[in-house]
Amino acid sequence: MPLPQKLAIVRQLLDDDEVNGAIKDQHGRAWSRVRGRSQSQRSERERERREINAAIREAERQNAPMVEFLKLKRHLLEGGETVRAIGRFVAEDLQRRANGQRVSIAEGQWPEVVDLLIDVTTAADETVREVQTMMGNLGDDAIEVDAIEIDDFYELPEGKTLE
């Protein structure tokens, strides 16, 4: 299985309250490390949320042009989390159905669920195509960077070069 898929599975498992509850009941050093990683993952997402909200407040205070980008980024991160949560909910409901347990989504409601999911993926795909039309294919290797002020660099004396 490719690494991105493995990472997606791990993230989904760490987001699952039932899995986290079961992890807490396990004993031993290996399970202690798992609990630590689970808490670290959640803490990292919370830290990321706090940082982007702080960056938005600061950009708004400075009336910086980055405000709209940061808000877009926040919405995309939240949207991704929402879609992953929906995926977990649907998977759990399908598993309950397979186990003969009481389900949340009735059989006749599944076509609407699928239609709505297709709408979400279609909208995301169309947006990616629009960006790629304007910016080219950025691919998975696009690097996240922050802009820096040129004043942060030191000038070399005339005729000197870096070696």
Same domain, 27 and 62: yes
Same domain, 29 and 100: yes
In this structure, are 53 and 79 located in the same domain? yes
Q: Are 79 and 119 in the same domain?
A: no
DSSP string, the chain: --HHHHHHHHHHHHH-HHHHHHHHT--SHHHHHHHHHHHHHHHHHHHHHHHHHHHHHHHHHTT-THHHHHHHHHHHHHHHHHHHHHHHHHHHHHHHHHTT---SS-GGGHHHHHHHHHHHHHHHHHHHHHHHHHH----TTPPP-----GGGSPPPPTT----
83 plus 56 within the same structural domain: yes
Q: Are 51 and 89 part of one and the same domain?
A: yes
Q: Is residue 1 a part of any domain in this protein?
A: no
123-146 mean pLDDT: 78
**pTM metric for this prediction:** 0.58
Query: What is the C-alpha to C-alpha distance for residues 20 and 15, in angstroms, rounded to an integer?
Result: 8
What is the C-alpha to C-alpha distance for residues 23 and 13, in angstroms, rounded to an integer?
11
| Per-residue model confidence as pLDDT tens digits over 63-91 | 998 999 999 999 998 898 888 888 888 98
Report if residue 154 sits inside a domain.
no
Q: How many domains does the chain have?
A: 2
Average pLDDT over residues 36-51: 77
In this structure, the answer to whether residues 51 and 127 fall within a common structural domain is no
* Enclosing domain of residue 133: 106-137
Q: Smallest Cα–Cα separation from 39: which of 60, 15, 3, 63?
A: 15
Mean residue pLDDT of the chain comes to 80
Q: Clarify whether residues 65 and 121 are in a common domain.
A: no
Q: In terms of domains, do 48 and 121 share one?
A: no
